[in-house]
Amino acid sequence: MVVAFSFVVFFFAGLAKGVLGMGLPTIAIGLLVLAMTPGEASALLLIPSLITNLWQLLRGPALLPLLTRLWPMLLALTLGTLLTTRWLVQAQNAWVGVALGVCLVVYGSIGLLAYRPRLPTRGETLHSSLAGFLTGVVTGATGVFVIPAVPYLQALGLPRDSLIQALGLSFTVSTLALGAGLWWYGGLEGAEMGWSWLMLLPALLGLEIGQRLRQRLSEASFRRLFFIGLLLLGLHALLRAAL
């Protein structure tokens, strides 16, 4: 039953990523915690997240310039994740559920408000490092790596294709750092990695269909439903943590 549920979750998570270029880990973690601990959900997420984000990263037009510009963020993100992943492994920690709920509510709210800040280039190294470290802390606590990385990258004013590639770069580094942290703190087992490889199939199927739907559906309508769903999942996670 859990396996079938996980297949459905990764299909829809891949579908969202195919349409929007992001959302796979957020949807997957938000739904999988209904049936397992956040640590188990994060371990299951690793392979589908890594492969789909590498695909997104390598298809972009400007990898080297992005690496040159974003390395402070990526380094700080890795450090923040490695320092805090133990919170995710300790499934009995009630704060994990609260942090996950808050993260989803914040991300869903920002998306619904369509808030698009703009940052000056002056002081970008400091801003980049701070955004990266905070994203790493959130990743280590919840397994979700969108806050504040996604709003920060949107605030840089990158062209659309470069933004999609920058998101893929950030998500790839986050996935690798999360996997290293889970391994270091004893949150990975051979069986879990085998199931993670299996979940790649529905994720890739959803990704392919999502890319085709992107040409036919209104992205604005899909995005609105996507963020409403995340908001509801976040509220549900907070409710579960409070009970």
Residue 71 has pLDDT above 60, yes or no: yes
DSSP of 176-235, one letter per residue? HHHHHHHHHTT---HHHHHHHHHTHHHHHHHHHHHHHHTTTS-HHHHHHHHHHHHHHHHH
Question: What would the pLDDT profile of 149-158 be if each residue is shown by its tens digit?
Answer: 888 888 888 8
The whole-model pTM stands at 0.81
What is the per-residue pLDDT for 83?
92
Highest mean pLDDT range out of 18-27, 128-137, 139-148, 213-222? 128-137
Domain that holds residue 235: 2-242
What is the per-residue pLDDT for 230?
73
Cα separation of 226 and 236, whole Å?
15
* Tally of domains within the chain: 1
Question: What would the pLDDT profile of 81-126 be if each residue is shown by its tens digit?
Answer: 999 888 878 755 667 667 777 877 887 887 788 766 666 667 788 9
Tokens in use for 71? 């390395």
